[in-house]
Amino acid sequence: MRNKLIIIMVLFIALIATSCQKEFLDTKPANTISNAQLAENPAALQAIINGIYANLRTYAIGGNTGHIDYGLRGVMAGLDMMSHDNTLSVFHWYGFFYNYDARVQTSSRTRIIWNTYYTQVAEANSVINAIDPATADPAAKALLGQALALRALFTFNTARIYAHTYLGHEGDLCIPMPNGKSFEGKARASVGDVYAQIKADLEAAVPLLEGFSRSTKQEVNQAVSQAFLARVYLEMGEWSKAAEMASAARAGMAPMSAAEWLSGFSDINQSECMWGADIDGESSTIFASFFSHFDNTNNGYAGVLGVYKLIDAKLYSQIPDSDIRKSAFVSPDSANPTYPQLPAYSNIKFRDPSFFEGDYIYLRVAEMYLIEAEAKARSGDASGAAQVLFDLVSTKDPAYTLSTATGDDLIEEIYLQRRIELWGEGHAWYDLKRLKKPLERDYAGTNHASFGLFNLPAEDNKFRFQIPEDELNANDAISAAEQNPN
């Protein structure tokens, strides 16, 4: 069976290697219908929104035929490999993220990210430009709310990748403003101006989505837009708003049980999933997929070729033995009886029992608990923060007690729980940047691979991706002098 799967992989790689690859960035909407025509055709607007959701799980959406180009989950995974919480066992796919070569302007990886986000921003803009913001039509309001929330998310993610965090860098160069008013090349706007648009988009989206009942978790509803806004408020240091919005986003939803947490994170119907992608036989991208790379037990690159994704040894050591989340990783003291082939620290958090039809979970309720706890702690509400944290962590660790920490100690405790709870879910590198923390991989007892064994000081230039070379060549409004340092 193993040999058969390897043969299938080789044939699949050979097939996609012959397909076409985009040569230039495409930031214009794919449709050629005018705004007036779109405004008169709600079905066309709905089709564009549906197309965005589909694109987020589509192979080669970033303009590359490599097996790391499979949409939003692929970008999230690549950035996680740039943190110190994730370890790569051998140099393979995601190796260039792990060793930070993905960030240089000539890398196809930086182009994948830029293309993935900017092309979807362009599609969202075509919906935004076609709908009167004062519309009273419920269907039109729902479409506009989704488009604004999606544009804000894509812009926010791009800004966090190509610039430093917001606080302390408001006047720095960020990204070209993707506001859809013109599709000509634009200069880099300031961090402050870009974040102002992101916040405005989401603050408009939240009320527009009130009363919208989605048919699937693949769609953005009001709770999801509130979650996006909670992230932005946290990044911008608006603590009380972040706590309030995170609480609103998670209203009526509780943390998963310990058993559900250990079930593999491959089902969009899990109780904590707020937003994701439903993958089936038609939408599966087979080996170019998240579970191919991160499920060490499955038949993809990780499970068959041994490109294992591991947890950082230092982080693993900080998880109490009473915490069931520790069992999501192979102990360095004994082999896992179910998966004896896996090396120490291998993750078994992500498991897809199907043939690459595991769903993608983009957003979970747990993140909202953690945002609310951190925001309350930073606002001086230590007891409120501790209670929210306890409500989350005690469902996984029966020995966990209500924290009595305050100030920076409480914030660090919340950060540790973020690292444990959200491991592999696309937050670790963003948090290093947001919290202005160093990258620490080279330490006594490390399990990081030699090709990624280095440390970086907080806010090092390498924490910013360079703008893709194709964009510099095509956009005269960005000079070479304005490129992020190498």
Instruction: Reduce the DSSP state of residue 59 to 3 states and report it.
Output: coil
Among 233, 164, 236, CA closest to 202: 233
How many domains does the chain contain in total? 1
What pairs with residue 220 in β-bridges? Answer: none
List strand residue ranges (DSSP E) for 194-278, in order.
273-277
What is the residue range of 316's domain? 2-482
Tokens at residue 115, please?
Answer: 């293309």
Burial of 104 from C-beta contacts in 10 A (0-12 / 13-18 / 19+): middle
Residue 14: CATH number of its domain: 1.25.40.390
Tell me the C-alpha distance between 267 and 364, whole Å.
Answer: 12
Three-state SS letters, 394-426: CCCCCCCCCCCCCHHHHHHHHHHHHHHHCCCCC
Tokens at residue 184, please?
Answer: 């000509």
pLDDT of residue 347: 98
Tell me the C-alpha distance between 250 and 125, whole Å.
Answer: 28
Instruction: Reduce the DSSP state of residue 321 to 3 states and report it.
Output: coil
Residue type, 175: I
pLDDT of residue 106: 97
pLDDT of residue 179: 75
What pairs with residue 40 in β-bridges? Answer: none
Residue type, 130: A
DSSP 287: T
Tell me the C-alpha distance between 273 and 193, whole Å.
Answer: 32
Residue type, 309: K
What pTM did the predictor assign? 0.93
pLDDT of residue 184: 74
Place of tokens 């009942």: 213
CA distances from 313 to 79, 166, 296, 320, 449 (A): 19, 30, 17, 13, 12
Residue-wise pLDDT for 107-116, tens only, equals 999 999 999 9
Tell me the C-alpha distance between 276 and 367, whole Å.
Answer: 14
Counting as low any pLDDT under 50, the low residues of the chain are: 1-27
pLDDT of residue 185: 84
Among 242, 37, 52, CA closest to 148: 52
